Chain A
Amino acid sequence: MSSAGMSLRKNQNIVKNKIRLESGPVTTILMMVSLLLILGLMYLSQVTKTSTFNYKISNLEQKQNQLQSSKDNLSIDAARLQSIAEAKKAAETAKLAQVKTVSFATAR
């Protein structure tokens, strides 16, 4: 460090005056109210977000139920169309003849 610099440091006022922040009752109340307001707003925002998610979940659940119901109905239609009664009807419509004799190939 240069000597000029040292002298400058020497002459520096090293006494620090404490800044005293004082608030009166009105300021304190205002601060408390603001804090409560901020916390309230944060809480409200979270609750709204949760409710929105709940609504979305409920919507998705409803959609899932609808899809499940559609799937059930399609399964029933498919099963009905593949049922023995339907197969019998189809065979009658196509005038298929019943098997009367069957020959088995014999190994030599």
Chain B
Amino acid sequence: MPTGQAKMEESSNKRITILVGLMCLFAVIVFVRLIYIQIFKHQSFVEIANAQQSRKFVIPARRGEIFVQDGNNELYPIALNQQLFLVAADPKYVKNSNEVIDKLSQYLGDADKDELRKKLDNKNNRYIVLNKKIDDKSADEIKNLKLAGIILSPKDGRNYPEGELFAHLTGYVNNDESGQYGIEQFMNQSLAGTDGVSRAVTDSLGVPITSNENTLVKPKNGSSIVLTIDRNIQSMAARAIEDAVVKNKAESGSVIIMDPKTGAVKAMANYPSYDPNSYQDVSAKDYGRFINSSITNLSEPGSGFKVITMSAALNEGKVKPDTSYNDTGESQVEDRTIRNADNKKFGQSTMTDVIQKSLNTGMIFVLKQLGTDPNRITQKSKDILYDYIKKFGFGEKTGIELAGESKGYVKDSKAYSVDYANMSFGQGISTTSLQLTSAVSAIANGGTLYKPYVIDELVLPNGEIKKNKPSVIRNDVLSSKSAAEISEMMKQVVQKGSGWPTRMAGYNIAGKTGTAQVPKADGTGYEEKKNIGSFVGFAPVEDPKFVMLVRVDYPKVDGFAEKTAVPTFAEIAKQLFIYYQVPPNGN
């Protein structure tokens, strides 16, 4: 039997064993917890520690600038950087909201003063933006007012010294420093560059201190861009189209001028425009002003498209300029009767007459010749026309370096014959002005389709210059013989047809008018009193220096394109001959 002392010893040993066991258990728990924290949760705790002990500073990259040229290759800036300031208020420190509003009223724009007063009086608010963009001069003036609770934060901004003139080409940079529309949007990544980052160890107040752990990734500035646009030609185009829209009481208008030998766009002007320096002032109902209608708006090309159908037939050897047919004033296709635009009949007419007098029935005759049976529109007729429409670049984006380009709509060759009959003279097909200009360029230069472009040079931040070269999409659109034949027909439009207002002594100009009807929104036919007048042409025919398209939308004066678009073409062409120093040929 164990004695009392032995019992006590046994009990004591048990307690010690239990205590040691508990301590071991505790040690194991601590050990496991340490492994969990230090190994499995290592990264997350490192991040928490870093966040408490260091700060990240973004070093903004400098945005590239945009330039245009003149005839002497001098550069002119059209988009520059400018340091701006954001004005904000901390209501907690604003003593007298009335005084603040009175003194800052000239810097607050259209802000609702009563609403602002309410916000400033609410001391629970800690940050109210008063104006997102003021220049440094105004910032200095505000600083000098020494108003308590007013905060000025510097921010990068953009300035467009030419105002409205290049608005549709540049677009603008919004408050989030992101490009909107035009080059600013299309080339946003290149222009913006990459922001740098500085990570620095900070003291308890968050002030950076010197440390070996501090890191710096320098910003990569954006590339600058030189456009192919000639600022003098752009100015001529902008002024002329504004005059045309006002004179014809039209809704809008546009002009594109292109070098037919390269595809370089020399001018692209739309009216009405907007000032990219104050894009916020454009009201919601006028948001359409931001759109570059030359590349975005789709419309039926109208009679200007006849040169495409005729080119196809000439190139296929199906007709010659003197091929004739009997114009009865109307043509039956399936169950529809298609008439000439002026409801006249011209009897025996050649293909040159068809283009010169813009005969719809003539185009249906041409379409029939493309197929296997010259008396009707066959599947082959549609296949060949569709093939040429694609060859000329319709139904596809041209690839110009501007945001918002549309690709248009072309019915494929499975469509009804009546659809193709309409397409042959520019109805039932939608194109952009740029597509038509580019297609006519291919006629002007002898059959090569170039990709239209507006970027001439990219100037990298290290000063290296990347020159943009003309890009050939295809060089077999037309043979040079066919191109010369259709050019001659287009010359007759100016000499004897609807392009007469652009006739100029000593200069051979080729062109084609188009007065397109506007389809109703519900798809039930065309608007009664709405049309789009256009004239697309090039000059001099023997060695073209420019291709130009003038478009006047919804004029409120009577008559066809010769009254709306052609005079504007003539006015610009006259100035271009002087600017390009093209002497008259003496004929």
Contact = CB atoms under 8 A, between A and B. Distances in A.
Interface string B50-85: 000000000000000000000000001100111100
Interface string A1-21: 000000000000000000000
A72 B165 contact: no
Contact of B578 (A72, A82, A83, A102): A102
Contacts of B82: 72-73, 76
Given A79-B76, A99-B578, A102-B578, A54 B163 contact: no
A64 B459 CA distance: 23
Contacts of A26: none
B12 interface: no
Q: Using C-beta atoms within 8 Å of the partner chain, give the interface range for chain B.
A: 10 to 19
Interface string A69-85: 10011011001101111
A83 B162 contact: yes
Contacts of A76: 80, 82, 159, 161
A50 interface: yes
A85 B80 contact: no
Interface string A49-75: 011001000000000000001001101
Contact of A104 (B83, B163, B210, B584): B584
A84 B162 contact: yes
Contacts of B326: none
A72 B79 CA distance: 11
B583 interface: yes
A106 interface: yes
A66 to B, nearest CB: 9
Given A47-B210, A83-B161, A83-B162, A75 B77 contact: yes
A51 B161 CA distance: 42
Given A47-B210, A83-B162, A104-B583, A72 B77 contact: no
A83 B161 CA distance: 7
Contact of A72 (B81, B210, B583, B584): B81
A71 to B, nearest CB: 10
B198 to A, nearest CB: 11
A79 B77 contact: yes
A94 to B, nearest CB: 18
Contacts of B583: 104, 106
Contacts of B210: 47, 50-51, 54
Given A47-B210, A106-B583, A69 B83 contact: yes
Interface string B523-545: 00000000000000000000000
Given A47-B210, A51-B210, A73-B82, A82 B159 contact: no
B266 interface: no
Nearest to A79: B161
Interface string A89-102: 00000000001001
A40 B235 CA distance: 71
A85 B242 CA distance: 14
Contacts of A69: 83, 136
Contact of A84 (B77, B81, B231): B231
Contacts of B83: 69, 72-73
Contacts of A99: 578
B99 to A, nearest CB: 30
Contact of B162 (A85, A104, A106): A85
Contacts of A72: 80-83
Interface residues of A, number: 19
Nearest to A70: B136
* Residue in B82, B159, B161, B581 whose Cβ sees the most chain A Cβ within 10 Å: B161
B136 A80 contact: no
A84 B235 contact: yes
A47 B80 CA distance: 41
Interface string B419-446: 0000000000000000000000000000
Interface string B146-167: 0000000000000101110100
A86 to B, nearest CB: 9
Given A50-B210, A84-B162, A75 B80 contact: yes
A84 B160 CA distance: 12
A106 B585 CA distance: 10
Contacts of A80: 161
B163 A85 contact: yes
Nearest to B79: A79
Contacts of B584: 104
A41 B82 CA distance: 47
Contacts of A79: 76-77, 80, 161-162
B508 to A, nearest CB: 16
Contacts of A50: 210
A75 B163 CA distance: 15
Contacts of B581: 104
Contacts of B165: 83-85
B76 A73 contact: no
Contacts of B162: 79, 83-85
Nearest to B234: A84
A47 B279 CA distance: 50
A72 B581 CA distance: 36
A26 to B, nearest CB: 37
A73 to B, nearest CB: 7
B575 to A, nearest CB: 9
Nearest to B77: A79
Contacts of B77: 75, 79
B33 to A, nearest CB: 37
A79 B66 CA distance: 12
A84 B70 CA distance: 12
Query: Closest 4 CB pairs between A and B?
Result: A79-B161, A104-B583, A69-B83, A80-B161
Given A75-B77, A79-B77, 6 more contacts: A47-B210, A69-B136, A72-B80, A76-B82, A76-B161, A84-B235
Interface of B: 76-77, 80-83, 136, 159, 161-163, 165, 210, 231, 235, 578, 581, 583-584
30 contacts: A51-B210, A69-B83, A72-B80, A72-B81, A72-B82, A72-B83, A73-B82, A73-B83, A73-B136, A75-B77, A75-B80, A76-B159, A76-B161, A79-B80, A79-B161, A80-B161, A82-B76, A83-B161, A83-B162, A83-B165, A84-B162, A84-B165, A84-B235, A85-B163, A85-B165, A102-B578, A104-B581, A104-B583, A104-B584, A106-B583
